Structure 1
C-alpha cells in the first residue's frame, strides 16, 4: 500500500530507497506468515447469499413457478384491498406476507403464512369473487414448504453476527442430506419437486466445493478446521462420521491446523530467546564491573555453577489435537468458546489461541450488509430531519425486542 501511493519524484525515490525496500521486505514477511497461518482465498462467497441463489432455482421450474405466481397474484389482491384485509383480520387476526427477491427466506414465509390461513383465505377470496388455489395446488405448496424449511432455518442461523464459521460445514451437510432424502421420498408423488431437489443438491455441491470437496481447485480447509475445534460439532459432524469424504475432510483440517500453528509459536520463541540474550548480556556487563569484589552466593540453588532445572518438553501440535479429541467426551453440551476459555493455557499451549481465532470468524457477511441497508433506510427522504443521530437510530432498529 505504501508503494502504491509513493510519489514519482526522483529525489524522494533516491532518498527513500533504503527505507522503502525495508518496508517492502517487512510487508512481504508479514504476508507470508498470514498466508501460512490462515491460507488465502481469491474470492470467499457469503454463505447466506449463495444459499439464496440456490433457493432461487425454484423460479426456473415451470410447474412450480406457475403455482408460486398464482399465489403471488392472490397475495397482491389481498394487500391492495382494504376490505379483504379487514375480513381476513376479523376471521383470524392475521394477514398475508409478500415475498421479495432480495429478502432471504421470503418465499418460504409467504407460503407458510398462506398455508396457515388456507381456509380463511379461500373463504374471503370466494366472498370477493376471486379465484383461489385448487386443492392440488395447495398440496404442491405444502411440499415446497417442506423443501425450503431447512434453508430458512439455516439462513436464519448463519445470518446472525453471533454465529461462527464452524456452523458452515454442518449446515451444508445437513442441506445436502435433506435434498437427497426429499428427492427419494417424492420421486413418485411429485416428480418435478424431486427433480428440483436433485438439481439444488448438485448446485450446492458445485457452489460450496471450496468448503466440502477436497479435490476442488478452490478448496480451503479453514471452515472444516473451525468445525473441528468446536466440541459441540466435531464429534457428530467429522470424527464419528464414517463417510470417506468426511474423513478426508477431517484429515485436511488436522493437517491445516498442524501447518498453520508453528509459525506463530516460532516467532514467540524467538522473542523469548532475544529477551534472554539481552538479560545475559546485561548480566555479563554487571559482573565485569563488580568482578573485583568477592561475592558469596546466599543460596546454593542460585549458584551459577548449579545446573539449571530442565524444562519439561512441550507437546507437539499433533499431540495437542489428540488430547483435544480425547477430551471431547467430557465436553457434551458446551459451546466452543466456553470450552476453550475454560481450558488451561499449559495444556493446550499451541492449539488454544488458534482455536479461539477460528471461532471468532463470522459465518457470513449478511449482518454487516443488513446494517448498511438499515442505515440507508434511516437516511433517506424526510428522515434526514430526524433529531436523533443515525448511529442511535440504527442501534435501536437492530436491537429491538
Structure 2
C-alpha cells in the first residue's frame, strides 16, 4: 500500500500512483481537494497583500533603479536642472533632498555625477532626435550665428540657430549648436566650424537660405569660405549708423560724457541714491534708478538720456542741496531733449526688428520710412540739424546696398503687407523680374519669362514740408498712399505670370496682420508664390536669436560654475532652448 517493503519506497508519490492505478475514484477526489487548497492559498495571499499592513510595507520599499517610476522622476529632475539653470550640485543640497524624500520616499536620488554623465547626454539625444525629425524634408532653412566669450572662464562659443517655415506656414525655431570655439577667430577657422556643424545635422548647403551674422570682417570672410549666403545683422548696422551719425558729434558726446558722470555718481553712492529717492517721493515722481549706458548698445545711451530727462526736476533739487560732480547747462538739457526726439524712431525700429516676427522683408520698408522721416524738418531740430543730416547720410551709406540685394527685395515683395510699394522704379522692375525667375525655377518651368520695355512712371518726390511729431508709422502711411496713387496711374504690366500679376494687383493687408497667415489662406490661389514665400520669409533680419542664446549661456557659465566643461554647457544650452519643442 505504501509502495513496497523497503523504507526508501515509503513516499507519497508511490501512494498516489497506486491510487491512480488501483483506485481511480479516490485519486479523483484527491485531485479536487488539492485544487481547492491551492485556490484557498492564493486568495489568502491576495488578501494579505491588500491589507493595510502590507500597503504600508510596500510604501517603504525603495524603487528599483531601473524601474519606470524611478526613471521618470530622474528625467524630470534633469529637465528642471536644464530649464531652470540649476547646477548639478542641486541634487546634493539638503533642502532639495528633503523635498524629494517628502514627495516620494521610495525614490533614491542619484548622484550629481549620474545626472551630468548619464541623464544629460540621454536627454540631449532625445531632444536632438526630435529636432532631426523637425528638419526632415525642410528645403530652405535660415540661420543666425555669433561668437561669445565668457567673462568668468576661458571659453568661447560659436552659435548656430535655425529658423524655417513648415508646410502649414508656421515659423519654427531651434538651437542647433553652441559649439566650443578655441583658438584664433579667423574666417577660415569659423568656416571649418560651420562645415562641421552642418555635417553634424546633415544639412546640405543647398538648403541654407541665408545666415544672419554681425558685420565683423572675419564673419563675412567665413561665410564666403563656407560657400553660403549671408547678411549683416540689421541691429548691428543700425548701431553703426547711429554712432557714425550722432554719437560721434562733439557737442553730443560732451553731453553724454556729463550724463555718464551724473549716473555714475548715483550708481556708486548709496547715500546719494537714498537722497535722490527721497526727493522723487517728495515731488511725486516715479521712483526709479538712472539708466547706465553700454558703449556697444546705442539704445542704452538713448535710455540713459531719457532717464535723465525724466528725473530732470529731481536732479535739479538734488543739485541745489548736495554736491554733484558735474551739471548740465540749460543748452545741454535742450540738446538732450531734442536728441531723444530724433532717436526715438530708431529705438522704436530696434524693438520692432528684435521681435520674433521680424524678417528680412522688414528691412527695406523700415529704411525707406526712416529716411523719409529724417528728410523732414521739425520744430525739435534746434541744435541737432547737423546731426540729423549726418544721421541721414549714415543711414544711406550703411543701408544703401539693401535695395540691390535680392534676398531683401524678394522677401519684401513676397510680404503681403509691403509687396512692391516701397521700391523705386529700378528696384521694382528688378524685383518683379527676379521674382518671376525664382518662381519659374522653383516650379521647374522651362519657359523663360521676358519683361518687355515699359514706360517708366515718374519718380516719387519726397515731401520736405515743415511737419513735427511724425513717427515711423506716419511715414509708412504716406508711402503706401503715394504708391497706391501711382499704381492706379501707371498700372501693372500684363506680360508677367498670372500669379504674380494677380498677387501684386490686390490690396495690401494691414501691417499688424501676419503675412504667414495670409499665405496659409492663399497658397491654393498662388501655389508657386507661396512656395517662394516659405523660403524668403524664413530669414530673420537680425542675429538676436544668437544673442538671446548667449544671455542664457551667461546664466549657465557663471561664477559658481566657471569650471564647467564646454561640452556640458553646450548640451545644457541645447536642452534648455529646445526642450519646449519636445514638451509641446
Which residue is 1:391 aligned to?
573
Against the structure 1 CA distance between its residues 247 and 369, is the aligned structure 2 distance closer, same or farther, given a 3 Å change threshold? same
Distance apart, 1:323 and its partner CA: 0.8
Which residue is 2:497 aligned to?
318
Alpha-carbon separation, structure 2, partners of 1:392 and 1:322: 44
Give the conservation status (yes or no) of the 8 Å contact 2:242–2:298: no
Distance apart, 1:381 and its partner CA: 1.6
Distance apart, 1:318 and its partner CA: 2.2
Alpha-carbon separation, structure 1, partners of 2:251 and 2:304: 18
Which residue is 2:87 aligned to?
none
Alpha-carbon separation, structure 2, partners of 1:62 and 1:75: 20
Which residue is 2:514 aligned to?
335
2:395 aligned with 1:224: no
SS at match of 2:424: helix
Larger radius of gyration: 2
Q: With the length of structure 1 as denominator, give the TM-score of the two structures.
A: 0.66
Q: Which consecutive unaligned segments of at least 5 residues does structure 2 have?
A: 1-203, 211-226, 281-285, 448-493, 579-584
SS at match of 2:443: helix
Distance apart, 1:116 and its partner CA: 0.8
Q: Which consecutive unaligned segments of at least 5 residues does structure 1 have?
A: 1-28, 213-218, 270-314, 397-401
Against the structure 1 CA distance between its residues 34 and 65, is the aligned structure 2 distance closer, same or farther, given a 3 Å change threshold? closer
Alpha-carbon separation, structure 2, partners of 1:326 and 1:161: 29
Which residue is 2:30 aligned to?
none
Which residue is 1:48 aligned to?
235
Distance apart, 1:221 and its partner CA: 2.6
Alpha-carbon separation, structure 2, partners of 1:54 and 1:69: 20
Give the conservation status (yes or no) of the 8 Å contact 2:205–2:228: no
Distance apart, 1:200 and its partner CA: 1.7
Give the conservation status (yes or no) of the 8 Å contact 1:222–1:253: no
User: Higher strand share goes to which structure?
Assistant: 2
Distance apart, 1:378 and its partner CA: 3.1
Alpha-carbon separation, structure 1, partners of 2:495 and 2:257: 60
- What do residues 37-90 of structure 1 show as CA deviations (whole Å, max 9, x unaligned)? xxx987622111010011113232111111111111111111111112112223
Which residue is 2:314 aligned to?
120
Which residue is 1:64 aligned to?
252
Against the structure 1 CA distance between its residues 368 and 34, is the aligned structure 2 distance closer, same or farther, given a 3 Å change threshold? closer
Give the conservation status (yes or no) of the 8 Å contact 2:415–2:515: yes
Question: Which of residues 368, 373, 383 in structure 2 aligns to 1:173?
Answer: 368
Which residue is 1:358 aligned to?
536
User: Higher helix share goes to which structure?
Assistant: 1
How is 1:209-220 mapped onto 2 (pairs within 5 angstroms)? 209-212=400-403, 219-220=404-405
Distance apart, 1:324 and its partner CA: 0.8
Give the RMSD, CA atoms, in angstroms.
3.6
Alpha-carbon separation, structure 2, partners of 1:99 and 1:30: 40
Give the conservation status (yes or no) of the 8 Å contact 1:104–1:155: no
Which residue is 1:77 aligned to?
265
2:394 aligned with 1:200: no
Alpha-carbon separation, structure 1, partners of 2:277 and 2:247: 30
Question: Which of residues 289, 296, 310 in structure 2 aligns to 1:95?
Answer: 289
Which residue is 2:45 aligned to?
none
Distance apart, 1:227 and its partner CA: 1.5
Distance apart, 1:330 and its partner CA: 7.0
Give the conservation status (yes or no) of the 8 Å contact 2:209–2:229: no
- What do residues 115-161 of structure 1 show as CA deviations (whole Å, max 9, x unaligned)? 01110122123322114222221111001101111111111111223
Alpha-carbon separation, structure 1, partners of 2:541 and 2:522: 24
Alpha-carbon separation, structure 2, partners of 1:331 and 1:119: 41
SS at match of 1:171: helix
Alpha-carbon separation, structure 2, partners of 1:114 and 1:145: 11
Against the structure 1 CA distance between its residues 34 and 87, is the aligned structure 2 distance closer, same or farther, given a 3 Å change threshold? closer
Distance apart, 1:229 and its partner CA: 1.7
Alpha-carbon separation, structure 1, partners of 2:531 and 2:249: 48
Which residue is 1:278 aligned to?
none
Alpha-carbon separation, structure 1, partners of 2:310 and 2:208: 55
Distance apart, 1:334 and its partner CA: 3.5
Give the conservation status (yes or no) of the 8 Å contact 1:317–1:351: no
SS at match of 2:507: helix
Alpha-carbon separation, structure 1, partners of 2:288 and 2:207: 58
Alpha-carbon separation, structure 2, partners of 1:33 and 1:372: 23
Alpha-carbon separation, structure 2, partners of 1:366 and 1:32: 22
2:556 aligned with 1:378: yes
Give the conservation status (yes or no) of the 8 Å contact 1:226–1:358: yes
